[in-house]
């Protein structure tokens, strides 16, 4: 049986490092296993759009539909789409991990950038590692 180690943060990016890091980033997609009782929605997706723009509901829906189509993601539920604080941590991974900072204490202690975040549960055969191996992973898309 394969054993996955927890992701250990070596350091959090400071504001100037975040700005430099995001200079050519269009978006980041993160996939993680959803809680086990979500059988029809086994993957927790978070899409970090590199913008502080506020979108109308029509634009939010169009952006989400584009991601769903491009990544063959089905059955989204519990969709949240809004501006949120996002920190970045370095670990043994090749790229910094984006961290959605929900708790006020995290927002006070971890430097962050404001990004438009879409967070939801869904299914996809394209994210085997999250769905079947119960691993968390992220991918950057650059301009």
According to the model, what pLDDT value does residue 10 have? 74
The helix/strand/coil state of 5 is coil
Write down the domain spans for the chain: 11-142
Six token digits for residue 108: 């006070």
31-84 pLDDT per residue, tens: 999 999 999 999 999 999 999 999 999 999 999 999 999 999 999 999 999 999
Element (H, E) at 140: strand 137-142
Contact yes or no for 15/111 (Cβ under 8 A):
yes
According to the model, what pLDDT value does residue 6 have? 61
Contact yes or no for 130/108 (Cβ under 8 A):
no
The set of residues, in sequence order, having a beta carbon less than 8 Å from that of 10 and lying 6+ positions away, is: 89, 90, 91, 92
């Amino acid at each position: 049986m394969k054993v996955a180690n927890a992701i250990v943060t070596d350091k959090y990016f400071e504001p100037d490092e975040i700005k430099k890091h995001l200079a050519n980033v269009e978006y980041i997609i993160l996939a993680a296993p959803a809680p086990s009782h979500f059988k029809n929605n086994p993957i927790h997706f978070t899409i970090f759009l590199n913008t502080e723009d506020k979108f109308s509901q029509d634009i939010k829906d169009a952006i989400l539909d584009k991601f769903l189509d491009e990544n063959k993601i089905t059955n989204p539920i519990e969709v949240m789409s809004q501006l949120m604080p996002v920190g970045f941590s370095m670990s043994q991974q090749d790229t910094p991990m984006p961290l959605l900072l929900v708790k006020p204490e995290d927002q006070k202690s971890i430097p962050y950038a404001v990004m438009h975040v879409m967070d939801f549960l869904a299914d996809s055969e394209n994210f085997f590692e999250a769905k079947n191996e119960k691993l968390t992973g992220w991918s950057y898309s650059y301009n």
